[in-house]
Structure 1
Amino acid sequence: MLDFTRLLRRAGRVWTGVDRVELAYLEALIADTVPVWGLARTPIGYVLLDQAGLAAFHQRLTGKLPFSAPDVLSRMVRGMTPLMRAALTDARKFAVARCLPSRLARMLQKRLPAGVAYLNTGHSNLSNRVFEAVRSVPNARIAVFVHDVIPLEYPQYQRVGTVEAFAQKMRRVRAHTDLIIYNSADTQMRTERAMAEWGPVPQGIVAFLGAMRPVPDAAGMPRGLPPEGPYFITVGTIEPRKNHALLLDVWEKLGPDAPMLLICGGRGWNNDGVFARLDALGPEARVREISGLDDGALAALVEGAEALLFPSHAEGYGLPAVEALLLETPVICADIATFHEILGNNVVYADDSSANLWHDTIVNWSQQAQGTLGTRAFEAPSWEDHFKIALRLT
């Protein structure tokens, strides 16, 4: 049973890395011969889908078929876009069972076989109610994918009120799960170090995320893109952890003759200083902020860039760098353990606290002859390899 709560809530938005992981699990499980169910928390209770229902929902989620028109109940829910309401409508429409929160255990006991394996890959719906309801099914097992524990390690980068909520979520994961799946050994080490303060740590396994070469499609680019001349690109939500301030410092020092820097990502939180600097950019600035690109347009921009810049202070995995290498775009990234584990010797490392070092690296980079900046042979892990490890619980 896959928890698809996150995908339901993210319908119609640009996929994040965590969204893509949950989507990959959904696609793998509905294609498998092992029977699969899908559980999701909605604003008014829970829905349970069987394999056919999950397949139908996946077709709508990925745009292969249109969502239904929002029904009356969905239109009554506040704070949702029309597409989110449509997704909620179809989740109920395709459900084999629905229940109020208080009846979740009863619904699962009635519908699921003994020995069911519950998978949660999206950091959503990790509640005591869900865990206890799953445990009420005889011989049920629980596996949770932990992408990172950055909120515990870097609370200064988080939104107000989110750190304690995340800590409580991880406490519940430690207390209830049989298996934790990690995207890297570094994430496992950091998570287990945090959880060890709360009690015995569940069994953990490491399975690198699968990745496929993105398909560039310039048709979705806004007017004026790609820019004329060489350019660099950075991809990710504009939040303090991603360290956009360092890149802005570098580009200020490079001056009016700098190559163009494309900052691709939506605005996040706790970053008023960076937002103010971006808002102050004039039409002649050598920095451009871009948001809302579809996957094809973003891939086309990454493919044409001199390099992807990734100066993050902390990452759980670093999927944009992996995808850039698959597009044969060089990567300059922060000198952190996660990147060394995932990217190896295929990138250029620079201290994430040294704007001067990044400046010098980019200056030297730009002065090299065209054609000498190619990537080394990089083989990304496959989803097939990932699932051979991650689905051992089933």
Structure 2
Amino acid sequence: MKMIMDCSTSSSWTGPLVGIPRVEVELLHHLSQKCQVKPVVYDGSSSMWNWDAEDLIVSFGATWNYQGWLDVVETIKKNKMGRYVHLIHDLIPIKFPYLYEPRFDLNFANWLCRTVKAADLLLCPSESTRRDLCEFINENNLNRVRIETIRLGDVGFSNPKDSIATAGLSGEKYFLMVGTLEQRKNHQVIFDAIRILEKRHLLADFYLVVVGREGWLPNNLTQQLKEDEILKRRVRYFSNLNDLDMKRVVQEASFSVFPSIYEGWGLPVAESLALGVPVIAANNSSLLEIAPNLTTHVDSYNAMAWADAIAQWIQNPGVLNEKRNAVELTYIATPWERTADRIYELMREVIRG
């Protein structure tokens, strides 16, 4: 079996790998150890591709960003010269169009319709995304296609080492939020919770550490970090950390918070738990699937509830230690190799028909 794997998303990415580019790179690495993989970067044509009827064209990336990509896939399928597998990360642009630029939801929906029609197998990172996808297929009267849920890896950080970037955190007590600075990740509710806790004198000597590059329309968030007196005292912000620094920052956090409005999976939650760090997460979408018995869930939009949940762990270290012990003892981490094993098994089934 030869796999032609689209790597356009990660090849155009700059900075530390996060989100979809990280998934793409991890799966390229591990699948390459199981079969022949030819990585390709879409350049507007298919002239550099060589394939036959037994090949798989695979994408784990953001192909909606590459005009003409589906034209190539559809031509291949029309000529019966390959089979197509795609990982649908989420349907957030359709469910929450106001989080994106105008008309992006319409373009995304058109891309998704064409992807469903072209695919021999669609993968989803959660049951939540799978339900959303099935609902979309039904609403648009699309033909049924095989859909399988896979669990993404959460073990992939390298070993930590000292770094100038995070040296200022040494010995500090802090809780952590990882995520691109944009509306969907919902930093605002945590910033509001910080203000509540500061005014109630419940933060003690804790800080919030925020890690994430600037995303879609981050201006208000970055302005708050620069100008709000409470946030200037209580928040440490890092825009880009490599794997070495990231693992260290997660490991040394007392706990993590993840208030996202909606997630296809929520990798920062899983990666925190894999390193033994307790998490307070929003009570929506796939965030309810990752580790429901180990994660404390809070309404995404309720700043007071977030303040109360954070204060509960800051003010009661015994409770926090019990939660940390439970995470360390019972959370079962998922190596990326295991994710690749499952994908490889499914792809062999597609080839066998």
What band does the TM-score fall into relative to the shorter chain?
0.7 to 0.9
8 Å contact from structure 1 (residues 143, 177) kept in 2: yes
Query: Structure 2: which 5+ runs fail to align?
Result: 349-353
The worse-fitting range, judged by mean Cα deviation, of 338-347 and 277-286 is: 277-286
Q: 1:294 aligns with which of 242, 256, 263?
A: 242
**In structure 2, the residue corresponding to 1:254 is in which secondary structure?**
helix
Within 1, Cα distance between the matches of 2:243 and 2:223? 27
* Structure 2 residue 2 is matched with structure 1 residue 4: no
TM-score (norm 1): 0.78
Within 2, Cα distance between the matches of 1:232 and 1:25? 30
Q: Greater relative contact order: 1 or 2 (C-alpha under 8 angstroms, separation 6 or more)?
A: 2
Residues 229-378 of structure 1: pairs in structure 2 closer than 5 A: 229-255=172-198, 258=203, 259-282=206-229, 285-369=233-317, 371-374=321-324, 375-376=326-327, 377-378=330-331
| Cα distance change, pair 388–301 in 1 and its aligned pair in 2 (3 A) | closer
The residue aligned with 1:215 is: 158
RMSD between aligned alpha carbons? Answer: 2.2
* Structure 2 residue 328 is matched with structure 1 residue 381: no
The residue aligned with 1:158 is: 100
| Cα distance change, pair 36–218 in 1 and its aligned pair in 2 (3 A) | closer
**In structure 2, the residue corresponding to 1:285 is in which secondary structure?**
helix
The residue aligned with 2:351 is: none
TM-score (norm 2): 0.86
Residues 161-240 of structure 1: pairs in structure 2 closer than 5 A: 161-198=103-140, 199-212=142-155, 214-222=157-165, 225-226=168-169, 228-240=171-183
Deviations 1:256-298 (A, max 9, x none): 7522111111111234432321121459611122111111112
8 Å contact from structure 2 (residues 180, 212) kept in 1: yes
Corresponding letter in the other structure for 1:28:
H
Within 1, Cα distance between the matches of 2:337 and 2:216? 35
Within 2, Cα distance between the matches of 1:251 and 1:205? 40
Identity level (%): 25
Cα drift, residue 184 of structure 1: 1.0
8 Å contact from structure 1 (residues 157, 270) kept in 2: no
Query: Structure 1: which 5+ runs fail to align?
Result: 46-100
* Structure 2 residue 52 is matched with structure 1 residue 121: no
8 Å contact from structure 2 (residues 23, 60) kept in 1: yes
8 Å contact from structure 1 (residues 227, 260) kept in 2: no
Within 2, Cα distance between the matches of 1:360 and 1:147? 32
Corresponding letter in the other structure for 2:15:
R
Corresponding letter in the other structure for 1:29:
L
The residue aligned with 1:20 is: 22
**In structure 1, the residue corresponding to 2:36 is in which secondary structure?**
coil
| Cα distance change, pair 382–222 in 1 and its aligned pair in 2 (3 A) | closer
The worse-fitting range, judged by mean Cα deviation, of 165-174 and 375-384 is: 375-384
**In structure 2, the residue corresponding to 1:201 is in which secondary structure?**
coil
8 Å contact from structure 1 (residues 308, 329) kept in 2: yes
Within 2, Cα distance between the matches of 1:24 and 1:223? 25
| Cα distance change, pair 152–319 in 1 and its aligned pair in 2 (3 A) | same
